[in-house]
Every structure is written in C-alpha cells, then in structure tokens.
Amino acid sequence: MVLGVFVGIVLVASNVWTEILWFQQMNAARIIFTRWGAIAGLFVLGFLIVFALTAVTIRLAYATRKQASRGDVSASLRVYQQALDSLRPIILWGVPAVLGLLNGTGLATHWQTVLTSVNATPFGEVDPVFGWDISFFIFILPMLELLASFLLRAFGIALIAAVVVHYIYGNIGAIPRPHATKAARLHLGVLAALISVLIGAQYWLGRYGLLTRQGKPVDGAMYADINATLPAHSILAIISLVVAVLFIVAAFKGTWRLPAVGVVVTVVSSLVIGGLYPGLIQQFRVTPNARQLESPYIQRNIDATLKAFGLDDLEYTTYAARTDARPGQLREDSESTSQIRLLDPAVIVPTVRQLQQSRPYYSFNSGMKVDRYTIDGERRDTVIAMRELDLNGLSPEQRTWVNLHTVYTHGFGVVAAYGNTVTGDGLPAYWEQSIPSVGEMGEYEPRIYFSPSAPLYSIVGAPEGAEPQELDYPDDNAPGGQVSTTFSGNGGPSVGNLWNKLLYSVKFGSTDIFFSSQTNSESQILYDRNPLTRVSKVAPYLTLEQDAYPAVVDTDDNPATPKRLVWVVDAYTTSSNYPYAQHQALDQATTDSRSTAVGDFVQVNTVNYMRNSVKAIVDAYDGSVRLFQWDEKDPILSTWMKIYPDMVEPISNISGDLMSHLRYPEDLFKVQRELLTSYHVREAAEFYTGGDRWRLAQETSTVNQLNKQEGQAAPSTAQPPYYLTMQMPGQESAEFSLTSVFVPGGESRREAMAGFLAVDSETGSEAGKVREGYGKLRLIALPSSTTVPGPGQVQNLYDSKEQIASQLNLLNQADSTVIRGNLLTLPVGGGLLYVQPVYVQGTGSASYPVLRSVLTSFGGQVGFAPTLQASLDQTFGGDSAATIAGETPSDGADEGAAPLSAQDRLNRSLVTAANAMKEADAARQKGDWAAYGVAQEKLDKALKDALAAQDALGQDTSGVAQAPAGGADGAQSGAGGVGTGGAGSGASGGGASPQSGG
C-alpha cells in the first residue's frame, strides 16, 4: 500500500512538479499557477453547480415519493424502486458527482474566456448596429454565451434527473392518463421555466452573434439578418420568457395545457420566424436586389476587415508601369539595384551544408533566413543560419546515452553570407563562417543549446574546476581532435539531487538519468528546447509565427559584453469575434510553396482579428525568453498583461541592436495579402460585382526539385513573399521590405501583373523606438489598359527564348540539374523588373547548387548572363546604368570591358562546343562536309579553351570532354562570377547571345 502511494506520488510529481521547476527556472511561475488556479477554480465551480443541482433535484424528487399512491405504480416500476432504494447513497451522491466531474472538466477548458472577460480592456470603437464597444464582442459575449450554455446544460441535467425519479416513484405518469402530483408539478415546472429563460437568453445573445457570423457574400450581418433574423431572435426570446411564465402558472394551477401550447408555439416560431421568414426575405427581397440592398452591409464588412487586420492605413496607388526597356533606365534606382538579392535561401541550404557543416552532427535544419547587418559601415542584406546540433548525424556506435545526452549537447556558431554577392565559383560570399567563427560578426557567444533540432534533453553543468565533458567544437590541433566545454548558464532545472533525478527519470522514461555518474551537484537538465515551444509555454495566449529566425545581437547595447545569439519569434494576438470582419483560415492563408500549414502554436485557426503584438527572443545559449510589447494599442494584449503582470516588457527595453534585426512578420503579411486579393476594392458596389478580383501569383521557382531530393513534402503553388531591400514608388528611400505579386483572378487564368504589394519592414536601430514608416503597406495596381507580364508570363518568356532554353537544357542534361531560384520583383525604371538566379546542381551524393547565371526581364525584354550586371545590360539595350554591389557596369563585349574570369571562359567554351557539335551533326546529315570541317574546327578550339580555363581553375579536366554532350561535370564548382565583375554578354537589347554564359 505504501509503495503504491509512493509510486502514485512520483508519477504525478514527474508531470506536475517538473513543470513547476521548469517555470520557476524561467522566472514564469506566475504563468502556470494562474492557469492552474483558473482551471481548478472553474472545475470546482462547474462541479459544485452541477453536483448541487443534480443532488438537490434527486433528493427533492425522492423526498416527495410518499405522496404517490402505490396503487398507481406498476410492478415493473416497483422493481426499479427497490433497486434505487438499495443503491440510494450511490444515486444520491455518486450520480451527481460523476455528472459534476464531467461538466466541471468541460467548463475548466474555457479558462481563457473567463480570465479575459474579467480583465477586459475597451477597444474605444463601437459596432455599427448596437453601438457596443468592440470589447463586448471579443471578451464579454463569449463569456455570456458560455454561462448560458453551461447553465442550460446543468438545468437540463437536473430536469432529466427529476423526471426519471418522479416517474419511477409514480409522482408523474402517462397511463391511464397524464397525471402528476402537486410536488412534482412545482418541481418540474420551476426547472422547465428556468430552462425556458435560458433558451430565451441564448436567443437574445444570438442577436449579437449575427455580427460575427460567417456567410455570403461576406461575413457579418447582412440585410436579411438585420431585417428578419435579428427581429426573429428578439421575438423568440420574448416567447421563451412567456413560456417560462406559463410553466410557473401551470405548476400552481395543475394544468400543462398552457405551457404545452407555449412549447409548440416556440418550436413553430423558431421554424417559421427564425428560419422560413428570413429565407423568404433573402429569396424574394434580397436576391433580386442584392447589389443595392447588401451594399451598406458589405461596406461595413470592408471597413471592419481593413481595421481588424491592420489594412486601414494601406497606401493604394495606380501604377502606369513602363514596358519599354532603354539604355540607362536604372540610373535613378541605385538604392534598389545595389541590394538585389542573388542568393535564394531555400536553394543554397545544401550548399552551405556541404561547405560549412564541418561535421555530420551539425546541420542547418532551420534553413537560411534573410536579415540585414551593418558591415564596414554599410547596411547589407544577408542570409544567415545557425549551425545546430543534429544527433541524426551520429553513427550507430556513437549513439550511447552518454554521448546523446551529456557530450553532444549544442551546436556552434552561425554562417552568414552577403545576399547580393557570390564568389567567382558561384558560391555564397561568406562574411562569417567556420568553426570557431571567423569573419565580420565580432565577438559573440556561439554555443547553441536551444534550437528546433536540439536533442530531447541534455544534462549539462559541473562544479567549478571540473574537467569539461561536453564537445564544444572539433579542432584537429586540440588533444583528441576536439575542444570541450561546460555549460555555465541557467538553462534548466537542477538534477543535482536524488528527488529531481528520480522525477526526470520517470518523465523521460530513462533510468540512466538516475544512475548516471555524469550528473553532479551542479547538473541541469535542458528540455523543451524549441524556441517556439518555450515562447508558447510562457505566453499561452499568443499565436506564433511558424518559424523563428536567428540574429546575433547586443541585447543591452553594452559594447563591453559579447553579443548573444538569439532566436526571434513574432507573436500575434487573434480573435474570431470582431464584428463584421472577414474570417481567415490561417492554415490556408499562410501556406505557400515554401511553407506548410500552421503548426501547433495557433490559438484559433479561423480568425477575423490579428495583430503582431509581441516580439519575443529566445537566447540560444541559456534558453531565456523575453517578451516585448510591440503593439502598445492592442486591447487583447493589454488584457493579458493584466492577467499576467510583469511578464511582457515595454518596447523601451528593446536595445538598438536588437531593434535593427526585427522585421515585419511573414505570416501576418500572408494573411493581409490574401485578403487584398478582394479587399483592395473598397467600394461596396464594385466589391459585390467582383470584377476586379485578384489572386496570388503562382510559384515559378524550381526549388521544388531540390525539396523532393531532400525528402520534403510537396508544397502548394502560391509564390511566397520575399524579403529584400527596395524602394516603392512614392517612398523616400529604399528600405528592407516584404513583397508579393498579384495577378488577375477569375477563371481566365491570365498571368499578367495585376498588383504589387510591399510593406516597409525596416524597424530602425534606435533603442526602444520603432522607426517612423515601419509597417507601412503600399499597394500599386496596374491599370487594365497596360499589360505588364506577371511572374508566370516572365517564366514563359525565359523558356521561349531559344538561346536561354538551349543553354539551360544543356546544363540540365546528364549529371546536373538546373534550379531556378526565387523570382524577385522590383518596381524600378518606371516599370517592374524581374530577377531570377539560376543554379546548377550535380546528381552525386555530395552535390550542391551553385549559382551559374542570372535571368532578368523588364517588359518584354530579357537578359541571361553569368552576372547580374551583364544580364541587366542585356535587358536594357546594352547599358542599364544599374549600380550593382561588387560589380562594374559593362556590356561584356566592347573593347575595354572587364576581362572574363576563368569560370566564365569555361562556361562560354562549353556552350560553344555544344553548339559546334550540333552544327557538325546537321552538316553531316546534309552531306555538307565543308561545313562539317568548319564545325569540327570550332569544336576543337572550344575544347582547348575549356581545358585551358579548367587548368586555370586548378581542377580536374576529366569531365570537360563530355561536357558538350551531357553538361559539365564541373557543375559543382559553379559558374558565373556573379558579383565579381566579369560580364559575359555579347548582346545588346533583349535577347541573350549564345556566348552570354550559363
């Protein structure tokens, strides 16, 4: 018995006490105690109400049993009476207790609804129908609906229990005629009256719920709702109150005719008044006159939707985009063109993994993220990733408990590359790399104990002076080939005593935790290491962005202390109860070709209010979480800050360095752009006709090929939004922005450009102050009279150019695959410029993509060359006048042009050889041996040039001879010298010359 009790205590404590330890270590014990207290309080309240009502009802019905004549009770009922009499304690106490437990548990799940209603913060705005503050619909109405529903269920249970007991003991009956004792009439009449009152309350509350309903043509109360359903709910509520009075009268008068008639009237009224009448109004009044009658209500929906999703300050302009490309056209757009990003974060992860992973137990599973850093006084767009620990890379013999949980405990450092520059071999130009980290980042704490791919748990820490046990990083010059370390932060609960070791052994199902000699008095256990998990636990009311992104920042603006490696998490407050606002399903709106459906950190999937109210950071070393109040005007966050005081820091606590790495969140932008496919139209009449509906542009990148090779799930087709530095028309300067493209909607499937959306994502670098202009949404719409190619048409334009297609097909043969990166759109040169990097990847197990060429397009003109500069020059008549970081403007053909790199010469020679082989084959088939000889001479010269270029690169030339027929085996070394100054174009105007690279 004692052993059983002890085991039970340990089992409970392994879940409960360990949670308390975790929250105490996070300085967030208030979070769990408040939640548990609210859950316990609601459970007790729900239990007591249902238990008391049911117990009193059963006891009262039982106490009046003697008033029934036993002659009126059948033999079968006497059997039930005897059974109930023998089980009376169980019936009187057990049944109410079970019902109380079930209903108390159900009520406890609504703890957030109760807490927010008690601490509700006004919005300062009212709905257009009732004039109530919006907070009534967000906070109070859900509480009232919960209360009415719970009480209706409780009294319904009590009524059923009373009917059963009264019937068994003969207090009510239907044979030979309906009859009931006075006590039963009073008992049942009062319960039925209370239930009728609660039904009336639900009808009355349903009036307010009309404003948040989902329907057609838009959400919210439409003409039929306001003019038919709303009055019907009021009438039904009044009828329910009248029926309640009739039940009371019947209880004292002894006749059930009146309440029976009242119930029939209520049912018929609900069908006729609540259902049929609104349907008739809709069919014969609204449908023939829908545009006129629905317009005022559609306008309410438009206004509310724009307000609820932060679109009311959208800057909307018509953009008469030019489609002609002329020399010098990009001269005035140097700010935008100098930061055109050539590295596609989704493509280059295998490249970074092959060249920067260092050991198989490291990975870049969280991918590369776009950010910006100041390097040598210049703000540069950057792609950055953390080198995380990945235990899947360990060999079977390495996978011991000691290694998995005490030796391999953390990742190490970041890899950062310029977004707009690559090396002469087409590889990322790193400005921070290697282990230990070297580069321009400066001193920072590189160890990564907390990340999405971190182990389930690690045991770290040791007394001062103890020999380090954790692998820090590999070093061939160190004893044993590695440097060891000891975790010195405060990252997890202690397992330095037997009790905690026992609890965590049970929690993680491992006896090794308890018996291991690796643990000591200073040992800590690190778990729940995913940054999103940690934020969701300390802020359970927030919906989180799908991905966290890394940043190396000075969190306190103190130059004397090393920077910290942190995960930045954007968090949202959401609601589905904003009057008249359109509902959006997050799992649909936030899904595109490079992201899957929302994960586990969503409060409600379907929302009609969304604010990026909190910026959170998770320290990658010690796992500490800091929450910052990003939206100081959001009433929902203010409400939760009352519930959990001192858990969210003011925005003034954000350091200047951290501020410079915050950005506009991607998921919010995705929801907003999805809404703007319809809600860019702000006039109700035009909105109703839907003649100007848009849709999101489809993905044109072929990175899906890479995803399939990596074993990822097939993505959807919507093009993802892209971060890049650019300047919108009317914007004073080029800023870090998030952009997306629209094409016409409907069934025509036209792919012309319809609109272009960008949001200013630059937060500035001033401590505690967000830069003016941050979050400004700008939407430019293309006039219907102008046909500007959309992404799909641009991709088709690339594919239809013979020179481009032939070169890409050549590279796409045999042992290499062409991967088209993100198709970026920039409003420059008075029109819209498209830029797409082209990568080539081999098929070997160690293959990785390298940048070979750049495709550009403006209007109907295209460019295709090894460098961005050369490609733009092709597009704009030989001289774009663009300013490209790391490049010198050149047409690549004129005398005095920058010399081609060895890689460029190799590329050009391979293409020339391929063309020569085709000419030779054609001449041979025609029997034109003179032409055949000329082609062979071209082939010989091209192969010699290729060999010379290959020798210059210092690489093996064994694959060169095969290259013309099957693509260069040198694909892994890349091509193009993008960003290095060499231009390979021999063309002027829109087309690409066969010698333009690729």
Do 415 and 364 meet the contact criterion of CB atoms below 8 Å apart?
Answer: yes
Which among 417, 411, 456 is positioned nearest to 436, based on CA atoms?
Answer: 411
Winning range, highest mean pLDDT, from 268-272, 464-468, 663-667, 726-730:
663-667
Tell me what the mean pLDDT of segment 60-72 comes to: 63
pTM: 0.85
pLDDT of residue 475: 87
pLDDT of residue 77: 63
Phi, psi of 489 (to 5 degrees): -90, -170
The set of residues, in sequence order, having a beta carbon less than 8 Å from that of 771 and lying 6+ positions away, is 762, 763, 764, 765
- Distance, C-alpha 272 to centroid of its chain: 45
Q: What letter represents residue 289's amino acid?
A: N
Reported as type and span, the H/E element at residue 825 is strand 824-826
Other CB atoms within a 10 A radius of the CB of residue 800 amount to 10
Structure token digits, residue 248:
């009371």
Lowest mean pLDDT among 548-557, 681-690, 896-905: 896-905
Decide which of 854 and 262 is more confident: 854
Tell me what the mean pLDDT of segment 802-814 comes to: 79
Which among 553, 558, 585 is positioned nearest to 658, based on CA atoms?
Answer: 553
487 burial type by CB count under 10 A (0-12 exposed, 13-18 middle, 19+ buried): buried
Is the pLDDT score of 78 beyond 60?
yes
Structure token digits, residue 157:
């249970």
The rounded radius of gyration (Å) of the Cα atoms in the chain is: 36
Give the C-alpha separation, 331 to 481, whole Å: 54
Is the pLDDT score of 716 beyond 60?
no
Structure token digits, residue 643:
């519930």
Give the C-alpha separation, 13 to 505, whole Å: 12
Is the pLDDT score of 983 beyond 50?
no
Residue entry with tokens 């800050």? 641
Which among 216, 159, 168, 214 is positioned nearest to 189, based on CA atoms?
Answer: 159
The per-residue pLDDT for range 147-188, each reduced to its tens digit, is 999 999 999 999 999 888 888 777 777 666 667 778 888 888
Q: What letter represents residue 231's amino acid?
A: P
Tell me what the mean pLDDT of segment 899-914 comes to: 62
The set of residues, in sequence order, having a beta carbon less than 8 Å from that of 147 and lying 6+ positions away, is none
Give the C-alpha separation, 417 to 887, whole Å: 17
- Provide the percentage of residues in the chain whose pLDDT is more than 70: 87
Tell me the three state secondary structure of residue 858. strand
Tell me the three state secondary structure of residue 632. coil
Give the C-alpha separation, 951 to 933, whole Å: 27
Reported as type and span, the H/E element at residue 195 is helix 182-209
pLDDT of residue 174: 66
> Is the peptide bond preceding residue 562 cis, with omega within 30 degrees of 0?
no
Tell me the three state secondary structure of residue 780. strand
Is the pLDDT score of 712 beyond 80?
no
pLDDT of residue 814: 61
The set of residues, in sequence order, having a beta carbon less than 8 Å from that of 728 and lying 6+ positions away, is 737, 758, 778, 780, 827
Is the pLDDT score of 973 beyond 70?
no
Dihedral sign, Cα of residue 653, residue 658, residue 660, residue 661: negative
pLDDT of residue 998: 31
Is the pLDDT score of 896 beyond 70?
no
> Is the peptide bond preceding residue 128 cis, with omega within 30 degrees of 0?
no
pLDDT of residue 73: 53
Do 651 and 658 meet the contact criterion of CB atoms below 8 Å apart?
Answer: no
Which among 54, 50, 66, 49 is positioned nearest to 184, based on CA atoms?
Answer: 66
pLDDT of residue 488: 92
Structure token digits, residue 230:
């709303």
Lowest mean pLDDT among 90-99, 200-209, 665-674: 90-99
- Distance, C-alpha 528 to centroid of its chain: 20
Residues in the chain: 998
Lowest mean pLDDT among 270-284, 373-387, 653-667, 732-746: 270-284
Lowest mean pLDDT among 582-586, 608-612, 957-961: 957-961
Tell me what the mean pLDDT of segment 506-532 comes to: 93
Q: What letter represents residue 932's amino acid?
A: Y
Is the pLDDT score of 972 beyond 50?
no
Give the C-alpha separation, 292 to 687, whole Å: 12
Other CB atoms within a 10 A radius of the CB of residue 962 amount to 13
Tell me the three state secondary structure of residue 429. strand
pLDDT of residue 623: 96
Lowest mean pLDDT among 328-337, 526-535, 735-744: 328-337
pLDDT of residue 705: 57
Identify the band that residue 886 occupies on the pLDDT scale cut at 50, 70 and 90: low
pLDDT of residue 332: 87
Do 991 and 865 meet the contact criterion of CB atoms below 8 Å apart?
Answer: no
Residue entry with tokens 């094409």? 743
- Angle formed by the axes of helices 95-108 and 141-168, nearest 10°: 170
The set of residues, in sequence order, having a beta carbon less than 8 Å from that of 139 and lying 6+ positions away, is 116, 117, 120, 121, 639
pLDDT of residue 941: 78
Do 573 and 555 meet the contact criterion of CB atoms below 8 Å apart?
Answer: no
DSSP 8-state class, residue 121: -
pLDDT of residue 890: 36
Identify the band that residue 92 occupies on the pLDDT scale cut at 50, 70 and 90: confident
CA–CA–CA angle 842, 846, 851 (5° rounding):
45
Q: How far is CA 173 from CA 60, 262, 442, 653, in A?
A: 18, 21, 88, 72
Phi, psi of 667 (to 5 degrees): -65, -40
- Distance, C-alpha 265 to centroid of its chain: 50
Do 191 and 57 meet the contact criterion of CB atoms below 8 Å apart?
Answer: yes
The set of residues, in sequence order, having a beta carbon less than 8 Å from that of 510 and lying 6+ positions away, is 401
pLDDT of residue 144: 96
Tell me the three state secondary structure of residue 262. helix
Q: How far is CA 945 from CA 384, 399, 937, 942, 985, in A?
A: 37, 51, 12, 5, 18
Give the C-alpha separation, 534 to 774, whole Å: 28
Give a three-class secondary structure readout of 16-75.
Answer: HHHHHHHHHHCCCHHHHHHHHHHHHHHHHHHHHHHHHHHHHHHHHHHHCHHHCCHHHCCH
pLDDT of residue 128: 95
> Is the peptide bond preceding residue 455 cis, with omega within 30 degrees of 0?
no
Give the C-alpha separation, 521 to 495, whole Å: 7
Q: What is the mean pLDDT of the chain?
A: 85
Give the C-alpha separation, 97 to 879, whole Å: 84
Give the C-alpha separation, 53 to 100, whole Å: 9
Is the pLDDT score of 509 beyond 90?
yes
The per-residue pLDDT for range 360-409, each reduced to its tens digit, is 999 999 999 999 999 888 889 999 999 999 999 999 999 999 999 999 99
pLDDT of residue 921: 77
Tell me what the mean pLDDT of segment 626-638 comes to: 96
Decide which of 878 and 306 is more confident: 306
The per-residue pLDDT for range 423-481, each reduced to its tens digit, is 888 899 999 999 988 999 989 999 999 999 999 999 999 998 889 999 999 888 888 88
Identify the band that residue 91 occupies on the pLDDT scale cut at 50, 70 and 90: confident
Q: How far is CA 437 from CA 185, 273, 488, 683, 719, in A?
A: 84, 74, 20, 56, 34
Q: What letter represents residue 539's amino acid?
A: A
Phi, psi of 573 (to 5 degrees): -100, 135
Give the C-alpha separation, 616 to 572, whole Å: 11
Do 75 and 178 meet the contact criterion of CB atoms below 8 Å apart?
Answer: no
Structure token digits, residue 145:
């609906």
pLDDT of residue 66: 56
Residue 783 — left, alpha, or beta (φ > 0 → left; ψ -120 to 50 → alpha)?
Answer: beta
For 820-849, b where at least 16 C-beta lie within 10 A, e where not — what string? bbbbbbbbbbbbbbbbbbbbbbbeeeebbb
Winning range, highest mean pLDDT, from 87-101, 156-170, 702-716, 753-767:
753-767
pLDDT of residue 889: 39
Which among 423, 440, 415, 372 is positioned nearest to 724, based on CA atoms?
Answer: 372
The per-residue pLDDT for range 291-320, each reduced to its tens digit, is 889 899 999 999 999 999 999 999 999 998
Tell me the three state secondary structure of residue 832. coil
